[in-house]
């Protein structure tokens, strides 16, 4: 892996669930050695979220390839001593423990900065410091607190986003924050700590509706696949039962839609539909006109006509249709990786670096690399047997 950008960087991560593991997996993708510290009694609890990937958790397989797994009881002095030895030789220390846990263990940013001034620490929390610091912050709770759930769904009811969007947002900002800190250390010699909360990360993603609400007086309505401020924009059902989504972004596209798809050029200058604001005000009428045309033809013809008219569109795919998508298959985006006891397909990292082959190493079993890591720290075979007998490792 000598050709990977982060070769030579060591990351020690006391991590669980989604946000921190997502950040560190992306560091591992770039060549960093990521030592994942797990509990001796079963490891990261995300291993047991489900068993759908040949007996492994879909979450865990997604988030933990190319890492080394070390089991360690951090409640014991010996366990903390081993962690300290690892951190002393690391470039980055990441943790998303429960509120206050890192401080109680002696691995908070201030303590570590005093002991290891070249170490970059990254803390992933729910709400950051302040009055809410001790509150639990699972993904859906943060979706609720930031107002995202109130925007998602239909007029009849709100809905959660179908993926762990708050965790993913926090993981992405932790990842980019760590890369920034590594660059800063390389150019200035200063190691800066990184602090990311799920709430702050998702709050950033709520920027547009926040501005709309603050300065417009009301929040964007829930309109399903429709768009709160653009019409027509949304999914409509074709004659064969498949939904196709399309979007009109400007007046040129509206004219093209009327002439080439709807076959109703008289609508172009109709004052009820001539501008974007007018179409939003008469959304129900516009939807009825579009839906009527969709009901006359199949989805393939719908998409072909919209393509010819220069209007962006997409079939509303199932996850299975996504898995078979030509953009993935024709570009070779799938690659086999190992998981405990099996082999599965995984998607390549989304960022393609010229001349760099993506790292796609196996997903580790809990504690798979414990002996390897401890031996490298100088522990003898007898030391390791003793640690296992004491329950400090598994």
> Encoding tokens for residue 76?
């014991």
- The answer to whether 256 and 309 are in contact (CB under 8 A) is yes
Question: Given a cut of 70, is residue 1 above it in pLDDT?
Answer: no
DSSP β-ladder status, 342-347 and 33-38 = unpaired
- pLDDT (tens digit per residue) in 340-372: 999 999 999 999 888 898 899 999 999 999 999
Q: What is the CATH number of domain 233-315?
A: 3.30.1540.10
State the pLDDT at residue 214: 94
Per DSSP, 56 falls in state B
Q: What is the pLDDT of residue 227?
A: 87
pLDDT at 2: 55
Intrachain domains 10-206+359-389 and 233-315 with the same fold:
no
Residues with Cβ < 8 Å from 126, sequence gap 6 or more? Answer: 99, 132, 135, 136, 137, 141, 142, 197, 198, 199
28 by DSSP, 3-state: which?
helix
- CATH number for the domain whose boundaries are 10-206+359-389: 3.40.50.10540
Q: How far apart are CA 62 and CA 24, in angstroms?
A: 12
| CB 198 within 8 Å of CB 125 | yes
Q: Where are the domains of the chain?
A: 10-206+359-389, 233-315
Grouping H, G, I as helix, E, B as strand and the rest as coil, residue 287 is helix
**Mean pLDDT of the 291-296 span:** 96
Q: What is the pLDDT of residues 217-275, one digit of tens each?
A: 999 888 888 888 889 999 999 999 999 999 999 999 999 999 999 999 999 999 999 88
Pairing of strands 153-154, 157-158: antiparallel
Residue that has been written with the tokens 């510290």 in this structure: 37
Q: Tell me if 347 sits within 8 A of 334, measured CB to CB.
A: yes
Q: Which residues are registered as beta bridge partners of 94?
A: 13, 122
Query: What string of DSSP letters covers 147-201?
Result: THHHHSEETTEE---SS-HHHHHHHHHHHHHHHHHHHHHHHHS----EEEEHHHH
Describe the crossing of helices 19-29 and 165-188 by its angle, rounded to 10 degrees: 50
Q: How far apart are the C-alpha atoms of 44 and 282, rounded to whole Å? A: 52
- Long-range pairs for 56-64: beta carbons < 8 A, 24 or more residues apart: 56/339, 56/340, 56/342, 56/363, 59/17, 59/18, 60/363, 61/339, 61/344, 61/346, 61/363, 62/346, 63/18, 63/21, 63/22, 63/25, 64/21, 64/25, 64/36, 64/363, 64/364
Q: Is 283 helix (H, G, I), strand (E, B) or coil?
A: helix
Count CB-CB contacts under 10 A for residue 358: 17
First CA to last CA across the chain, in angstroms?
A: 29
Note whether 38 and 363 are within 8 A (CB).
Answer: no
Q: State mean pLDDT over 196-216.
A: 95
Question: Which pLDDT does position 134 carry in this prediction?
Answer: 87
Helical H runs in the chain? 19-29, 58-63, 77-88, 101-105, 109-115, 139-145, 148-151, 165-188, 198-205, 207-216, 251-256, 276-281, 283-294, 299-308, 319-323, 326-329, 370-376, 381-389
Low-confidence winner among 23-27, 176-180, 221-225 (lowest mean pLDDT): 221-225
Residues 6 or more apart from 206 whose CB is under 8 A from it? 146, 147, 148
pTM (predicted TM-score): 0.90
CA distance 292 to 355: 51
Average pLDDT, the chain: 94
Residue 277 has pLDDT above 80, yes or no: yes
């Amino acid at each position: 892996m000598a050709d990977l950008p982060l070769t030579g960087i060591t990351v020690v991560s006391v991590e669980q669930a989604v946000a921190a593991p997502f950040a560190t997996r992306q560091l591992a993708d770039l060549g960093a050695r990521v030592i994942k510290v797990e509990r001796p009694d079963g490891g990261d609890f995300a291993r047991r979220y489900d068993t759908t990937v040949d007996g492994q958790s879909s979450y865990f397989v997604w988030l933990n390839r190319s890492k080394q797994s070390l089991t360690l009881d951090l409640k014991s002095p010996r366990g903390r001593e081993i962690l300290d030895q690892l951190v002393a030789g690391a470039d980055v220390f990441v943790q998303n423990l429960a509120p206050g846990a890192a401080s109680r263990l002696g691995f908070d940013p201030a303590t570590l900065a005093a002991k290891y001034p070249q170490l970059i620490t990254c803390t992933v929390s729910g709400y950051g410091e302040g009055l809410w610091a001790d509150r639990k912050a699972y993904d859906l709770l943060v979706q609720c607190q930031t107002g995202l759930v109130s925007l998602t769904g239909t007029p009849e009811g709100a809905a959660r986003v179908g993926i762990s969007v708050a965790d993913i947002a926090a993981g992405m900002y932790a990842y980019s924050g760590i890369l920034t800190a590594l660059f800063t250390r390389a150019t200035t010699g200063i190691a800066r700590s990184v602090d990311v909360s799920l709430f702050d990360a998702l709050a950033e993603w709520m920027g547009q509706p926040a501005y709309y609400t603050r300065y417009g007086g009301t929040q964007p309505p829930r309109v399903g696949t429709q768009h709160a401020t653009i019409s027509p924009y949304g999914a409509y059902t074709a004659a064969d039962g498949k939904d196709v989504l399309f979007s009109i972004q400007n007046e040129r596209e509206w004219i093209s839609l009327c002439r080439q798809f709807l076959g109703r050029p008289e609508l172009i200058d109709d004052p009820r539909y001539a501008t974007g604001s007018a179409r939003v005000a008469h959304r129900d009428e516009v939807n009825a006109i579009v839906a009527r045309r969709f009901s006359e033809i199949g989805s393939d013809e719908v998409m072909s006509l919209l393509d010819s008219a220069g209007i962006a569109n997409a079939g509303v795919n199932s996850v299975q249709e996504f898995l078979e998508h030509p953009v993935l298959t024709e570009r070779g985006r799938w690659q086999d990786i190992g998981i405990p006891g099996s082999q599965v397909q995984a998607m390549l990292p989304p960022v393609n670096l010229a001349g760099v082959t993506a790292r796609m190493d196996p997903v580790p079993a809990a504690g798979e690399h414990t002996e390897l890591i401890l031996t490298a720290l100088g522990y003898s075979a007898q030391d390791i047997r003793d640690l296992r007998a004491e329950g400090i490792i598994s």
